[in-house]
Amino acid sequence: MIKIGVLGLQGAFREHVRSVEASGAKGIIVKRVEQLDDLDGLIIPGGESTTMRRLIDKYDFLEPLRQFGKQGKPIFGTCAGMILLASEIAGSDNVHLGLMDIKVERNAFGRQRESFEADLDMKGIAEGYNAVFIRAPYILEVGAGVDVLATYNDKIVLAQQGQFLACAFHPELTDDHRLTAHFVGMVENSKKTLAS
């Protein structure tokens, strides 16, 4: 069975596990670096990116996470997780994992009172998908190898680059598991490729 870890330092990680399991894979909460070895793919959940980064540093997760991605294993970053994946953050010299060639802006849709739900069409994945944006970031620019899979009001909110997937919203908060299922599919393919 495909094993997908959810980084469980802070944030909505249990909901992601539920969504992974509803999509037919095994979900595992990851709190320690050594757990990464056993996984086929990883989700970095929504939460507070500054808090997560501090805990990532504290427990020496940064380099092992980078290596996990560089081995070709898929990583899915949602909201704060997208910020952690990005190679550039607007208005900041800070880069966290820097695995994906995207430039993001934090809290780009505004504060909590501007947070919203909206229907999205995700290229090749789902139409009419109810996406929940909470103090959400968006992607300002993407590099050459990045596919833009969804936009909202012309802002990029879902993108994929090889084994990396990033979204600005929270797929774990609803019962629509189509995006998680897409990621599970990415992990299945990569497991086959990495095995051969």
Partner 1 sequence: MSKVGTDLVKRGMAEMQKGGVIMDVVNAEQAKIAEEAGAVAVMALERVPSDIRAAGGVARMADPTITEEVLNAVSIPVMAKARIGHIVEARVLESMGVDYIDESEVLTPADDIYHINKRDFTVPFVCGCRDLGEATRRIGEGASMLRTKGEPGTGNVVEAVNHIRKVQSQIRQLRALSEDEVMVFAKENGAPFEILMQIREEGRLPVVNFAAGGVATPSDAALMMQLGADGVFVGSGIFKSDNPAKFARAIVEATTHYDDYKLIGELSKDLGTAMAGIEMSTLTPADRMADRSE
Q: Which of 48, 60, 63, 121 binds partner 1 (CB under 8 A)?
A: 48
Shortest separation between residue 150's beta carbon and partner 1, angstroms: 14
Shortest separation between residue 102's beta carbon and partner 1, angstroms: 19
Q: Which of 1, 58, 124, 195 binds partner 1 (CB under 8 A)?
A: 58
Q: Which of 71, 118, 121, 141 binds partner 1 (CB under 8 A)?
A: 118
Among 16, 96, 172, 182, the active-site one is 172
Number of residues that bind partner 1 (CB under 8 A): 38
Window contacting partner 1 (CB under 8 A); options: 7-15, 19-27, 35-43, 65-73: 7-15
Q: Mapped to the 3 state alphabet, what secondary structure does the chain carry?
A: CCEEEEECCCCCHHHHHHHHHHCCCEEEEECCHHHHHHCCEEEECCCCHHHHHHHHHHCCCHHHHHHHHHCCCCEEEECHHHHHHEEEECCCCCCCCCCEEEEEECCCCCCHHHCEEEEEEECCCEEEEEEEECCCCEEEEECCCCEEEEEECCEEEEEEECCEEEECCCHHHCCCCHHHHHHHHHHHHHHHHHHC
Q: Which of 43, 85, 173, 181 binds partner 1 (CB under 8 A)?
A: 173
Catalytic residues: 79, 170, 172
